[in-house]
Amino acid sequence: MTVRPVFDATASAGGKNLGDLPEWDLSDLYPAPDAPEVKRDLDWLEDACARFAADYEGKLGTLDAAGFLEMIRRHEKIEAIGGRIMSYAGLRYYQLTVDAERAKFLSDCQEKITNYTTPLVFFTLELNRLDDELLDGLFAADPELGRYKPAFDRIRAMKPHQLSDEMEHFLHDMGVVGDAWERLFDETIAGLTFEVDGEEMSIESTLNLLTEQDRSKREAAAHELARVFGENIKTFARVHNTQAKEKEVMDRWRKMPSAQHARHLSNDVEPEVVEALRNAVVAAYPRLSHRYYELKRKWLGLDRMQVWDRNAPLPMESDRIVGWDEAEKVVMEAYAGFDPRMAEIAEPFFNKGWIDAAAKPGKAPGAFAHPTVTDAHPYVLLNYLGKPRDVMTLAHELGHGVHQVLAAGQGEMLASTPLTLAETASVFGEMLTFRAMLAKAKDQKERKVMLAGKVEDMINTVVRQIAFYDFECKLHEARRGGELTPEDINVLWMSVQAQSLGEAFDFMPGYETFWAYIPHFVHSPFYVYAYAFGDGLVNALYAEYEANPDGFQDKYFDMLKAGGSKHHKALLEPFGLDATDPKFWDKGLSMIEGFIDELEAMED
Q: Which residues pair with 355 in a beta bridge?
A: 380
**pLDDT of amino acid 542:** 92
297 SS3 class: helix
Strands lying side by side in the sheet with 379-384:
355-358, 379-384, 368-370
* Confidence (pLDDT) at 463: 95
Q: Give the residues across from 199 on adjacent strands.
A: 196
What is the model's pLDDT at position 481? 94
Q: Which of 268, 408, 392, 353 is nearest to 27 (CA)?
A: 353
CA distance 48 to 85: 15
Mean pLDDT of 515-539: 92
- What is the spatial distance between Cα 298 and Cα 302, in angstroms, rounded to a whole number? 6
What per-residue confidence (pLDDT) applies to 6?
25
158-196: per-residue pLDDT in tens? 888 786 777 777 877 777 666 788 889 999 998 999 999
H/E element, 357:
strand 355-358
Element at 196 (helix H, strand E) = strand 194-196
pLDDT at position 16, please?
60
Given this model, what pLDDT does residue 604 score?
61
Q: State pLDDT tens for residues 258-283.
A: 999 999 988 888 999 999 999 999 99
Residue 51 has pLDDT above 90, yes or no: yes
* Average pLDDT for 236-261: 93
Class of domain 36-156: mainly alpha
Q: For residue range 298-310, list pLDDT tens digits in order.
A: 999 999 999 999 9
Q: What is the pLDDT of residues 457-476, one digit of tens each?
A: 899 989 999 999 999 999 99
Q: What is the pTM of this model?
A: 0.81
- pLDDT > 50? residue 1: no
Look over the chain and give the mean of its residue pLDDT values, rounded to a whole number: 91
C-beta separation of 325 from 19 below 8 A = yes
Tell me: the pLDDT tens digits for 120-149? Answer: 989 988 998 899 899 999 999 999 999 999
For residues 520 and 440, give the distance between their C-alpha atoms in angstroms, rounded to a whole number.
35
**Per-residue pLDDT at 516:** 96
Residue 387 has pLDDT above 90, yes or no: no
More confident residue, 361 or 488: 488
Alpha carbons 53 and 121: distance in angstroms, whole number: 9
The 3-state DSSP class for residue 151 equals helix
The pLDDT value recorded for residue 190 is 87
Query: Comparing 6-15, 434-443, 544-553, 587-596, which segment has the lowest mean pLDDT?
Result: 6-15
Residue 580: per-residue pLDDT:
83
Q: Residue 8 has what pLDDT?
A: 26
